[in-house]
């Protein structure tokens, strides 16, 4: 499947997101690793560059911080989207809820 290149405004959005702390960590004041841009899904399909949220390495890909075990990460930061998608969404919100939270933070609502 060929993915479209982001438009200038989408690129700008994703650049901003890469510099924002992980949305799943906003409530606890922590950070679970370098922020990556996560493309939200709808019906199991990737929605596009305008539907993106910032997630840290752990919450996005299940990669623990150096020196941390997965058990420690789970205990301290909650579930990872990659490892426990259902538990992640139950704790932090649906893709639409996370997207709305991020858009509000960016002043895009």
Domains of the chain: 9-105 (3.30.40.190)
Angle at 21 between CA 60 and CA 6, to 5 degrees: 70
Calculate the alpha carbon distances from 86 to 6, 66, 67, 92, 95 in Å.
29, 25, 26, 10, 11
**Residue 94: closest CA among 107, 82, 81:** 81
pLDDT at 4: 82
Predicted pLDDT at 109: 52
Residue numbers in the chain where pLDDT is lower than 70:
1-2, 108-109
């Amino acid at each position: 499947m060929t993915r479209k290149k982001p438009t200038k405004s989408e690129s700008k959005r994703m650049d901003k997101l890469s510099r924002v702390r992980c949305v799943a960590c906003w409530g606890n004041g922590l950070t679970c690793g370098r922020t990556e841009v996560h493309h939200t899904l709808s019906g199991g399909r990737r929605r596009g560059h305008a539907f993106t949220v910032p997630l840290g390495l752990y919450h996005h890909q299940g990669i623990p911080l150096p020196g941390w075990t997965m058990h420690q990460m789970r205990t301290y930061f909650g579930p990872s989207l990659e490892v426990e998608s259902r538990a992640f969404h139950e704790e932090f919100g649906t893709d639409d809820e996370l997207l709305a939270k991020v858009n509000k933070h960016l002043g895009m609502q």
